[in-house]
Amino acid sequence: MLTLYDVTLGSRLLLGTARYPSPEVLIEAVRASGTQVVTVSLRREAAGERAGQGFWSIVRDLGVRVLPNTAGCHSVKEAVTTAHMAREVFGTQWVKLEVIGDDDTLAPDGVALLEAARVLCAEGFEVFPYTTEDLSIAERLCAAGCRVLMPWGSAIGSGRGLNNLFGLKALRARLPEVPLIIDAGIGAPSHAAQALELGFDGVLINTAVSQAADPIGMARAFAQAVVAGREAYQAGLMEPREMAVPSTPRVGTALLR
């Protein structure tokens, strides 16, 4: 079981709600994934269209927890204000804190992220910071009051998987007690399985599911990958070796020359 801020979840897969071909596909993909947490955002609402009202009605009917993000924020002020607005609309202390530092890579601005995290944690928010594998930022986020971290696998929407294995392994080893959810960059179920095999506690997936030819099928595939990866981690992976080692015993090999 995965526990995030005292909430115990049966699934280690968190799912984004963006870029699905239709609301119906989103609903079915959430169900197929088995997720209990979906990410959402806040955007400008046109009084005539009321697109947000319709979306919110769909999400409420899903019966899962929502994790509002601060996507698109580039400053502490924007992120903190967005968090306040999200708390009111979504009725949750949870916030996936994103403070973007670079528009090409969508890499987080570690300094602003830390400052925003300090403000929000002090105000009682339960902050899920979107961060990198940087150890010093990660430790400071924890010191600021974050009890979950969301390190990136690779750039948002890139589908490139775990880009810096060495750094991610070091982060896992440094913070063995902190739930770490790989956020961003997961492009295939194999990437998700790898994250879980390395001991990460969960993954947040969006584009890899929503932009698949069959999002519902892909959601199901990710659900299985996450379960497989976690079970493999608990079972203990073998150590890789430099040279071949025969798996069939040499003893008793027949002399047939």
Partner 1 sequence: MKIRVNGEWRDVRAVELAAALAELGYADAVVATAVNGNFVPASKRSAAALAEGDEVEVLAPMQGG
- The residues binding partner 1 (CB under 8 A) are 16-20, 26, 39-48, 50-53, 55-56, 59, 68-69, 71, 77, 81, 84-86, 88-90, 156-157, 204, 206-207
Calpha distance 80→23 (Å, rounded): 29
- When computed from its CA atoms, the radius of gyration of the chain, rounded to whole angstroms, is 20
Question: Which residue, 85 or 237, has its beta carbon nearer to partner 1?
Answer: 85
Task: Provide φ and ψ at 191, rounded to 5°.
Answer: -65, -40
Question: Which residue, 84 or 169, has its beta carbon nearer to partner 1?
Answer: 84
Catalytic residue among 12, 87, 96, 191, which? 96
Minimum CB distance to partner 1, residue 206 (Å): 4
Calpha distance 233→156 (Å, rounded): 25
Question: Which residue, 17 or 33, has its beta carbon nearer to partner 1?
Answer: 17
Minimum CB distance to partner 1, residue 81 (Å): 5
Give buried/exposed letters for 4-41 (b at 16+ CB in 10 A, else e): beeeebebbbbbbbeebeeeebbbbbbebbbbbbbbbb
Residue type, position 123, single letter: E
Question: Which residue, 21 or 217, has its beta carbon nearer to partner 1?
Answer: 21
Do 166 and 137 touch, CB atoms closer than 8 A? Answer: no
Do 133 and 162 touch, CB atoms closer than 8 A? Answer: no
Minimum CB distance to partner 1, residue 158 (Å): 12
Residues linked to residue 97 through DSSP beta bridges, in sequence order: 129
169 noted as active-site residue: no
Minimum CB distance to partner 1, residue 47 (Å): 3
Residues acting as catalytic residues: 96
